[in-house]
Amino acid sequence: MDYRDAGVDVEAGRSFVQRIRTLVDSTRRPEVLGGMGGFSGLCALPSGYREPVLVSGTDGVGTKLKIAQITQRHSTVGIDLVAMCVNDILTSGAEPLFFLDYLATGKLEPAALGEVVEGIVAGCRLAGCALLGGETAEMPGFYGPGEYDLAGFCVGVVEKSQILDGSQVQVGDRIIGLASSGVHSNGFSLVRKVVAEGRRADANVGYTWDETVPALGNHSLGEIFLTPTRIYVEPILKARRAGLTIHGMAHITGGGLPENLPRCLGADQSIHIYGGSWPVPSVFSWLAETGQVPTADLYNTFNMGLGFALVVPPQESDRALAWLAEHQVEAYLVGEVTAGSGEVTGLIE
């Protein structure tokens, strides 16, 4: 017997690494030292920082991967992987420096996994960070045919005096919500259940991922729900450098607005949402109707059209909205900071 008999093709793995080498090199930053092939990746700190603080984050894509594997559409989940990590560290004010990925599969399928890596590279380019390294693990018997899982890890840097940690937020500050690109990468256990078991208007059966739904346009359900998570790094870092005052930020992930908005607050603060202050995309209305999902569950599961939030001083809100509009970032004034103990009020009328 040999390793190939056991289900692991070492030569295929080496060929795969060579195939993606050029892609990885395209994300290189000036601070990166060395290249692919070592046991570790090296990255120096950017110049110009007086007291640089490293900020790290890690995440995955979750069961959204099931849709990619069923539909054989693998090109966007890598963007999701990067987005979930870089948007998290952005909330501290950090600029992403480098990203690492872990890709595990039952059998190495170079075409499909090549698409995944292309997505990771695209996400790194959008975030301005280097894909510094990663790991591809072939694990027969652990994952089924065509299955794979992803995990990501990123490191960024921020000037110590510029860290956002909730202490800057004041009662009366305004909340600006930035539009999401759809469901992003949370709540897909519920999404998959709604699609598989939800009631059609014309029959008591569920849907398949290659079907189209008139209420959602001409794209298939698979295409709609594989729309990648929006990466907010470039416009937000640019806004801070342009002098916009931002007291806090929140990445709207699992738990929706009720769970994530309070994470950027200081002590004895809450948030009041202005009801109806942003357009909720039709995909959420469709999920609610098709799955008979209660409104509270919608808001506690999905981003409901807001993927990121900024906390700004009240006198800066108009300027911030104007700057975001000028830079083609869809944003809305959606609420304000109030005295309290971490509640989010006004969300469900």
Q: Which residue numbers in the chain have pLDDT < 50?
A: none
∠ CA 200-201-207 to the nearest 5 degrees?
Answer: 20
Q: Using CA atoms, how far apart are residues 348 and 65, in angstroms rounded to an integer?
A: 31
Domain borders along the chain are 10-162, 174-345
- CA 31 to centroid of chain Cα atoms: 25
Q: Longest C-alpha distance within the chain, in Å? A: 72
Q: Using CA atoms, how far apart are residues 153 and 85, in angstroms rounded to an integer?
A: 7
Q: Check if CATH label 2.120.10.30 holds for domain 10-162.
A: no
Task: Quickly list DSSP for 131-179.
Answer: EEEEEEEE-BTTB-TT-EEEEEEEEEEEEGGG---STT--TT-EEEEEE
Three-state DSSP class for 97? strand
Q: And the tokens for 227?
A: 């729309």
> 228-250 as b/e, with b when 16 or more CB fall inside 10 Å?
bbbbbbebbbebbeeebbbbbbb
DSSP label of 279: P
pTM score > 0.85 for this model? yes
Q: Which amino acid, residue 235?
A: P
Question: What digits encode the pLDDT tens for the residues 142-196?
Answer: 999 889 999 999 999 999 999 999 999 999 999 999 999 999 999 999 999 999 9
Three-state DSSP class for 309? strand
Q: Which CATH class is domain 174-345?
A: alpha beta
Q: Using CA atoms, how far apart are residues 137 and 149, in angstroms rounded to an integer?
A: 10
Q: Using CA atoms, how far apart are residues 64 and 253, in angstroms rounded to an integer?
A: 14
Q: And the tokens for 326?
A: 């000028």
DSSP label of 256: H
- If residue 84 lies in a helix (H) or strand (E), which one and from where to where? helix 77-90
Instruction: Say yes or no: do domains 10-162 and 174-345 share a fold.
Output: no
Question: What digits encode the pLDDT tens for the residues 113-146?
Answer: 999 999 999 999 999 999 998 999 999 999 998 8
pLDDT at 7: 67
Q: Using CA atoms, how far apart are residues 346 and 241, in angstroms rounded to an integer?
A: 33
Q: And the tokens for 229?
A: 């998570």
- If residue 58 lies in a helix (H) or strand (E), which one and from where to where? strand 52-60
∠ CA 189-193-196 to the nearest 5 degrees?
Answer: 140
pLDDT at 198: 83
